Chains A and B, each alone.
Chain A
Amino acid sequence: EDQVTQSPEALRLQEGESSSLNCSYTVSGLRGLFWYRQDPGKGPEFLFTLYSAGEEKEKERLKATLTKKESFLHITAPKPEDSATYLCAVLPSGTYKYIFGTGTRLKVLA
């Protein structure tokens, strides 16, 4: 069964304290892996798409990487405005049914 697991469920960081969020996935074939940011009461906002193992994407303090079994979202020197829930999703090959993880709630303290 295709599935996506994110860890940790919640993470508290001090401003400037770098860390990584994990997204483990099990699919028969991967068309794409997506990262989104969701602020409270709002719709998720697209961050990155990764297609193949070894690929990396960067945006400001965020860097996403992909292996054959998992993806990491690295946050370098986070700021309080990076506080949000980060969602991972996969799109298996041969389908247009996205599968979302339950997210990691990140809180960055000033």
Chain B
Amino acid sequence: EAQVTQNPRYLITVTGKKLTVTCSQNMNHEYMSWYRQDPGLGLRQIYYSMNVEVTDKGDVPEGYKVSRKEKRNFPLILESPSPNQTSLYFCASSLLGSANYGYTFGSGTRLTVV
């Protein structure tokens, strides 16, 4: 089944404790992206990647890091989480240059930073 898999689904952590949210896709998509979703603000792009070793900032990159060492994986790293990073996070992928297909989204990671 074609899918984007995120882990974990739920995470509660403390301020300053480094964490990684994993994202993997099995569709050979070049383009992958991370979003956060907050009430009243909608989906905001954190980082995106157009291929292996090619990443770029979205609209809200502060406090986040990403890496793209393999085509299928695109982890999101919070080096020193803060309470304002409490949010619902989505990873998504698509075929680059094939905008017709839109994104395939993961199921989401609900992060709480206390």
Interchain CA distance A106-B100 in the complex, whole Å:
25
Among A10-18, A75-83, A95-103, the one that faces the other chain is: A95-103
Chain A positions 66 through 101: 1 when the CB is less than 8 Å from some CB of chain B, otherwise 0: 000000000000000000000101010000111011
Q: Which residues in A have some Cβ–Cβ distance to B below 8 Å? A: 31-32, 34, 36, 41-49, 51, 87, 89, 91, 96-98, 100-103
A100 touches B43 (CB 8 A): yes
If A31-B99, A46-B101, A49-B101 touch, does A100 touch B42 (CB 8 Å cutoff)? yes
How distant is B66 from chain A, measured CB to nearest CB, in Å? 15
Q: Which residues in B have some Cβ–Cβ distance to A below 8 Å? A: 4, 31, 33, 35, 40-45, 48, 50, 58-59, 90, 92, 96, 99-108
